[in-house]
Amino acid sequence: MNKYELALVVSAKIEDDARTATVEKAKEYITRAGGTVTEVEETGKKRLAYEIQKMTEAYYYFIQFDAASNVPAEVERDVRIMDNVLRFLCVRKDEK
User: pLDDT of 33-46, one tens digit each?
Assistant: 999 999 999 999 99
- CATH number of 2-92, picked from 3.40.50.2020, 3.30.70.60, 2.70.150.10, 3.30.70.1350: 3.30.70.60
pLDDT at 96: 66
Main-chain phi, psi angles of 82, to 5 degrees: -75, 135
> In this structure, what DSSP letter does residue 96 have?
-
pLDDT > 90 fraction of the chain, expressed in percent and rounded? 94
pLDDT at 3: 94
Helices in 11-96 by DSSP H: which ranges? 16-32, 71-79
The mean pLDDT of 61-86, rounded to a whole number, is: 94
Q: Does the pLDDT of residue 68 top 70, yes or no?
A: yes
For residues 40 and 23, what is the distance between their CA atoms, to the nearest angstrom?
9
pLDDT at 76: 94
pTM across the whole model: 0.90
Cross-strand bridge partners of residue 10? 59, 85
